[in-house]
Chain A
């Protein structure tokens, strides 16, 4: 079957999204920056090394435990900049709203954007608002773009993982994605889950202060850790092995995953990062991460290998191994 329409799967952040980007977008706007497929484009402008990124937010529900579409829109873009080692400075924001959207909700969203921006130390310096007829969008969509400065001497990108490197994860997996899913209409689970949405730029600055030898930083958002590691393995042409036992997952998250039949390794996070760096530095960086409130549960979860380039292997608790492929489409809850 061939597709002549965009499906929800194409927005899921997994293989389908990648194919859409590679087949439809990249050939059209060909340039070396886009081809790299990193979180932000990095370029030199008048001697300054800049990172530039954009992202749109369409989360449903718009308010959820641990955040809302506003905090997400700020944190997501701040994090995309931080993952190139950049210190984020300025953000733009565009709103598309459905007519009839309650002003009170808008104000609440703006308040949490303000708070998130303050915490991250960025300013929202330009913006745009559009209102469309009822039903043309679902309540509110937000786009943010951001610009940041990369300190001299750093080159952090998905292409840089090297055999022997350590793989660090800054905290528990799956909190955001499962929170959202549990609130979706039709599933309606009550839970103690909370999104982990947070700006990670300060954590990144602290990591960078340990030295310039950080190879890759990436936030495992849509598609989860498994998809992110696959992207890195592909970009760097290395194999990555991770150890199930060491991966931090909250009991509440693994319980909810169990009930919905999902795998937390494929579930979105909005306040976590993966750091890939030389083994010799792993301990020092881990110690730094653990001191930051967003890195408390940080752990060494695996290593980069020369074998199986482009592939990610999970060593299971019982000692078996399994290939961790990229997320395919949207993860669907299953009962059977």
Chain B
């Protein structure tokens, strides 16, 4: 068993599609919170096989897309410091700040490296003692514990040239803001499998109770997504609002207390700016006092002028699921993956990029 290819089975998919078509009666809108789901839905052409009763909308679950302009501006400012090496995950280098991006800074001579893991960044720090190695830490609850583990390791090793700039985001506070924004018209959530791996389903239970909204924790293969949709359709048709787990092989109701413990040892929640959602209380992560030696903001001047987003960019509404990219005037004209205006166009996971790449 490989735990992957089995979930791309054509016959199974067909069977699930037939069942969804058969059982979905009421028109419903479901939000996939997670950007990896957005990509998978487009990549496998899932929208086209669903009956017209079901509309999928994409939520704020792409860590690159929700990174605020000012956070990019700070990273750009950091990259301009002599003797600094910026390390980060792939897509982030393309995200435009107000003036520049890391990719453009690299073209102008900045040392910007892509890594696969925070431990790769640690290794770079050890091998380049004459450089200050800064890891731009983005990601949700899934990624944040890996960053925390690297900070613990850096402390153990006594590294003095390793820093992180934390732009982490936490999911539950954002869900809360979405649900209270009033203009959402939703009947159910497709919850992110790998965030749930860490945090469990507690936060979703509250959503189910308080807003009477069902949700299903979903895997990332086409069969996973189709089964999740079927589970949601059934709940909605029966008037239920439960939290169910479709992605049993990868997550559980309790989550991963060990990873959460590592996370909490290193970070405390703080207010954080989200692109499109504004500042959300306690939705980010800051290093605890005993780890401030690794905080980039304590060692470098990161003052930047208040950021200006492009006035025409509808990313905020797209992230909240109240507009599709097709309703943005800049989509496909001024804003394209090679000249992105908003972050939703930058990341492969971004809703606008997914629409651009995969939509007919």
Residues of A within 8 A of B (CB): 1, 3, 5-9, 14-16, 19, 186-188, 245, 258, 260-261, 263, 308, 313-323, 325, 328-329, 332-336
Contact for B43 among A322, A328, A332, CB less than 8 A: A322
Decide if B273 is an interface residue (CB 8 Å cutoff).
no
Contact for B10 among A313, A318, A336, CB less than 8 A: A318
Decide if B360 is an interface residue (CB 8 Å cutoff).
yes
Contact with A along B1-32 (1 / 0, CB 8 A): 00010001010011001000000000000000
A-B contacts, 10 listed (Cβ < 8 Å): A186-B115, A187-B116, A245-B10, A318-B10, A320-B48, A322-B43, A322-B45, A335-B89, A336-B64, A336-B91
Given contacts A322-B45, A323-B359, contact A329 B338 (CB under 8 A): yes
Do A1 and B89 touch across chains, with their CB atoms under 8 A apart? no
B residues 173-219 near A (Cβ < 8 Å) are: none
B residues 103-121 near A (Cβ < 8 Å) are: 103-104, 106-108, 113-117, 120
Whole-angstrom distance between the alpha carbons of A126 and B101 in the complex? 43
Q: Which residue of A lies closest to B226 (CB)?
A: A318
> Which residues of the other chain, B, contact A325 by a CB distance below 8 angstroms?
356-358
> Which residues of the other chain, A, contact B35 by a CB distance below 8 angstroms?
336
> Which residues of the other chain, A, contact B42 by a CB distance below 8 angstroms?
322
Max chain A Cβ within 10 angstroms of own Cβ: one of B14, B45, B103, B348: B45
Contact for B360 among A1, A6, A313, CB less than 8 A: A313
Decide if B254 is an interface residue (CB 8 Å cutoff).
no
> Which residues of the other chain, B, contact A6 by a CB distance below 8 angstroms?
107
Do A261 and B103 touch across chains, with their CB atoms under 8 A apart? no
Given contacts A318-B46, A318-B222, contact A334 B356 (CB under 8 A): no
> Which residues of the other chain, A, contact B106 by a CB distance below 8 angstroms?
8
Decide if B44 is an interface residue (CB 8 Å cutoff).
yes
Whole-angstrom distance between the alpha carbons of A16 and B337 in the complex? 10
Whole-angstrom distance between the alpha carbons of A276 and B46 in the complex? 29
Decide if B148 is an interface residue (CB 8 Å cutoff).
no
Residues of B within 8 A of A (CB): 4, 8, 10, 13-14, 17, 35-36, 42-49, 62-64, 89-91, 93-94, 96, 99-101, 103-104, 106-108, 113-117, 120, 124, 138-140, 142-143, 222, 226, 336-339, 347-349, 356-360
Contact for A323 among B49, B140, B358, CB less than 8 A: B358
Do A316 and B43 touch across chains, with their CB atoms under 8 A apart? yes
Whole-angstrom distance between the alpha carbons of A261 and B36 in the complex? 10
Whole-angstrom distance between the alpha carbons of A5 and B107 in the complex? 7
Do B338 and A19 touch across chains, with their CB atoms under 8 A apart? yes
Whole-angstrom distance between the alpha carbons of A186 and B17 in the complex? 41
Whole-angstrom distance between the alpha carbons of A85 and B190 in the complex? 51
Contact for B44 among A8, A15, A318, CB less than 8 A: A318
Smallest CB-CB A-B distances: 7 pairs: A320-B45, A332-B90, A328-B337, A318-B13, A316-B45, A322-B358, A320-B48
Do B348 and A317 touch across chains, with their CB atoms under 8 A apart? no
Do A333 and B116 touch across chains, with their CB atoms under 8 A apart? yes
Nearest CB on B from A81, distance (A): 30
Do A1 and B359 touch across chains, with their CB atoms under 8 A apart? no
Nearest CB on A from B56, distance (A): 12
Do A334 and B90 touch across chains, with their CB atoms under 8 A apart? yes
Nearest CB on A from B36, distance (A): 7
Given contacts A317-B222, A323-B359, contact A332 B10 (CB under 8 A): no
Nearest CB on B from A206, distance (A): 34
Do B63 and A336 touch across chains, with their CB atoms under 8 A apart? yes
Q: Which residue of B lies closest to A325 (CB)?
A: B357
Given contacts A332-B93, A334-B348, contact A319 B14 (CB under 8 A): yes
> Which residues of the other chain, B, contact A315 by a CB distance below 8 angstroms?
45
Contact for A317 among B13, B36, B107, B356, CB less than 8 A: B13
Given contacts A336-B62, A336-B349, contact A321 B90 (CB under 8 A): no
Given contacts A186-B114, A318-B44, contact A332 B49 (CB under 8 A): no
Q: Which residue of A lies closest to B146 (CB)?
A: A335
> Which residues of the other chain, A, contact B44 by a CB distance below 8 angstroms?
316-318, 320, 322
Q: Which residue of B lies closest to A16 (CB)?
A: B338
Given contacts A317-B10, A318-B222, contact A1 B96 (CB under 8 A): yes
Do A319 and B107 touch across chains, with their CB atoms under 8 A apart? no
Do B45 and A319 touch across chains, with their CB atoms under 8 A apart? yes
Nearest CB on A from B285, distance (A): 15
Whole-angstrom distance between the alpha carbons of A100 and B332 in the complex? 48
Contact for A328 among B108, B338, B349, B360, CB less than 8 A: B338
Nearest CB on B from A301, distance (A): 16
Do B13 and A333 touch across chains, with their CB atoms under 8 A apart? no
Given contacts A319-B45, A336-B349, contact A7 B357 (CB under 8 A): no
> Which residues of the other chain, B, contact A187 by a CB distance below 8 angstroms?
114, 116
Q: Which residue of B lies closest to A184 (CB)?
A: B114
Nearest CB on A from B267, distance (A): 17
Given contacts A9-B338, A333-B114, A336-B143, contact A318 B14 (CB under 8 A): yes
Nearest CB on A from B328, distance (A): 18
Do A329 and B337 touch across chains, with their CB atoms under 8 A apart? yes
Do A332 and B45 touch across chains, with their CB atoms under 8 A apart? no
> Which residues of the other chain, B, contact A334 by a CB distance below 8 angstroms?
89-91, 347-349
Do A335 and B104 touch across chains, with their CB atoms under 8 A apart? no
> Which residues of the other chain, B, contact A1 by a CB distance below 8 angstroms?
96, 99-101, 104, 339
> Which residues of the other chain, B, contact A16 by a CB distance below 8 angstroms?
338
Q: Which residue of B lies closest to A328 (CB)?
A: B337
> Which residues of the other chain, A, contact B91 by a CB distance below 8 angstroms?
332, 334, 336
Do A258 and B4 touch across chains, with their CB atoms under 8 A apart? yes
Max chain B Cβ within 10 angstroms of own Cβ: one of A5, A322, A323, A336: A336
Nearest CB on A from B106, distance (A): 8
Q: Which residue of B lies closest to A311 (CB)?
A: B360
> Which residues of the other chain, B, contact A8 by a CB distance below 8 angstroms?
103, 106-107
Nearest CB on A from B268, distance (A): 22
> Which residues of the other chain, A, contact B140 by a CB distance below 8 angstroms?
336
> Which residues of the other chain, B, contact A335 by a CB distance below 8 angstroms?
89-90, 116-117, 139, 143
> Which residues of the other chain, B, contact A186 by a CB distance below 8 angstroms?
113-116, 120, 124
Q: Which residue of A lies closest to B359 (CB)?
A: A323
Given contacts A317-B13, A335-B143, contact A261 B348 (CB under 8 A): yes
Nearest CB on A from B64, distance (A): 7
Q: Which residue of A lies closest to B310 (CB)?
A: A1
> Which residues of the other chain, A, contact B13 by a CB distance below 8 angstroms?
317-319
